[in-house]
Amino acid sequence: MDAQLKKGIVEVCVLVALQERDSYGYQIIKDVSPIVEISESTLYPILKRLEAGGCVTTYSMEHNSRLRKYYRLTEVGRQRIRDFLVEWQDVMREILGEEEPAPSTSRGRRVWLIVRLVLGFPLWGSLLLVAAIVLLCVYICLFLPAFVLGVLALGCLASALVGVVGTPVLMLDVGLFTGGLPAGLFQLGLSVALLGLAVLSALGFYFTGRATVKAAKAIWRGIRRSFAKKGRVVA
């Protein structure tokens, strides 16, 4: 990659890392490194140039008894990002104009997009199917403990009710003085134990279910944020 082009891209990546919040050197390196390789020796000269150009301002804040220098994106820096995106789109249009028949109308762009989607369906369709299966397995694993506890609570409750109702029948059928009384008391105690287990299972189902729903919502929000972020990057 051309050195000047790479420098311009790195500078814009640093500015983008400051869009949502103020940041400091080490955190900027962590945010930018997944996109483009950068080190302290590269970052700080860039930050000095951006500060001199009015794209960022600085201030200091105490952290762990030491002053940490923070960088804040200015309106000039935001305009720099917008200008870069416009220039990059112009470059891509020129490249596509030379290598592909890029349609000029919005209808033509939609047609071209549909053609590319159809041609790429074996790849992205398979990836989408795998992603859907993985997501389904994750949700099944999340909800399985709550489901098991719910079934256990219902089963224990039903068994306890049957035991309580059947205790007098058992005692009368066997006979109070021919072993029916001990058998009835045993069955009644077992029914009470099953009732307690049903209550514990129901409580477990309630709290596990709440935690599971929160986890499922968090996963879904994370997926939506990921797609939204990718959409902003593409746009």
Question: Is 111 a domain residue?
Answer: no
pLDDT (tens digit per residue) in 158-205: 988 888 888 777 677 666 556 667 777 787 888 888 889 889 999 988
| pLDDT exceeds 70 at position 145 | yes
Hey, how many other C-beta atoms are within 10 angstroms of the C-beta on 90? 10
Question: Is 38 a domain residue?
Answer: yes
143 and 230 fall within a common domain:
yes
Distance CA 18, CA 73 (A): 6
Question: Is 195 a domain residue?
Answer: yes
Residues 6+ away with beta carbon under 8 Å from 84: 8, 12
pLDDT (tens digit per residue) in 204-228: 888 988 888 888 888 888 877 776 6
143 and 204 fall within a common domain:
yes
Stretch 67-77: mean pLDDT: 94
| pLDDT exceeds 90 at position 47 | yes
Using the 8-state DSSP alphabet, how is residue 63 labeled? E
Question: Is 46 a domain residue?
Answer: yes
141 and 226 fall within a common domain:
yes
Question: Is 130 a domain residue?
Answer: no
Stretch 113-119: mean pLDDT: 53
Provide the number of structural domains found in the chain.
Answer: 2
Domain hosting residue 49, numbered range: 3-91
145 and 199 fall within a common domain:
yes
pLDDT at 53: 92
pLDDT at 51: 93
Residue 17 contacts residue 23 (beta carbons within 8 Å)? yes
145 and 218 fall within a common domain:
yes
pLDDT at 23: 93
Nearest by Cα to 92 from 117, 111, 114, 109: 109
Q: Which of 61, 91, 121 is the last residue of a domain?
A: 91
The model's pTM: 0.40
